[in-house]
Amino acid sequence: MIPNRIGARSLGALLAAALFGYSSGCDGGVSSADAPAVSAPPASERAVSALGRLEPEDGIYYLAGPSGSGSVISELHVDEGTAVKRGQVIAVLDTAPSLEAEVARLRAELDNAKSELVRHHELSTSKVISDSLREERETRVRVVEAQLAHARAELERTRVRSPIDGRVLYVHAREGERVGEAGLVELGKTDHMFAIAEVYEDDIGRVRVGQRAHVRSPVLGSPLDGTVEWVHLRVAKQDALGTDPAARKDARVVEVEVRLDQSEAAAGLTNLQVEVEIGP
């Protein structure tokens, strides 16, 4: 009977060992309760994600005509996509011909006034005419010179020139049309493109100048790389809204400018919405 007792005890030991192994996992490993917990990296070591848009350096220039009443375009020398240089004539307004005629008239009047002044100066030297008459001729020359300068300035205002080296992004008014509130054309320095990221105010403390960033969009063939160049100094309401209905529509953000390494890949995509990842 002793061997039977020993066998029963051995069988009980085997059952206990099997139950312990099952509670520890089918592979006999350590239970999940005993496994070390994996903690998330601290916030300072995580990248900052934000929505944003593509823009040329210094933003978009909305080029208008002269101040005052709306002007009509008589000549338009550019179209969308045209590269322009600083000082290049973009358009000529319809008041140019009348002002050109006024400049020509005043030039002739000034030449005549100067000739009379020279003649009266010779007569004044010989005491044939009074000094007061000579001074009157001098005053007349100065008045016509001022009128001519004003006419030339007005004529120059009829020639709308580019303030930058850049490219025409959009044309708002063409020949025969009046320049409205939107201006004449939109210009941009597309040789240097930026991503303007709208970073939540809670995350802006983890963003600094010099950090590397990655810019993504389904429109771009591959992600674009860049460097944080400027962090704006004010908090504003978010403009770039994604498609997520649960997104924070009233979020407050700080704009961060990221200079792109590959400007040519984004040169034709001003205002494209992008996703920006900054750091860590």
Cβ distance 21 to 28 under 8 Å?
yes
Structural domain includes residue 25: no
Q: What is the CATH number of the domain that holds 238?
A: 2.40.30.170
Indicate whether 165 belongs to any domain.
Answer: no
Q: What is the pLDDT of residue 25?
A: 46
pLDDT reported for residue 42: 57
Total length of the chain: 280
**Domains in the chain, number:** 2
Question: In this predicted model, what pLDDT tens digit does every residue of 66-101 receive, in sequence order?
Answer: 776 678 999 999 999 999 999 999 999 999 999 999
Q: Output the pLDDT for position 6.
A: 41
- pLDDT tens per residue, range 228-259: 999 999 998 877 655 454 455 567 999 999 99
Question: Would you say residue 38 lies in a domain?
Answer: no
Specify if 26 maps to a domain: no
Query: Does 192 lie in the same domain as 54?
Result: yes
pLDDT digits (tens, 9 = 90+) for 122-133: 776 666 567 778
* Residue 146 and residue 223 in one domain: no
The whole-number pLDDT of residue 122 equals: 72
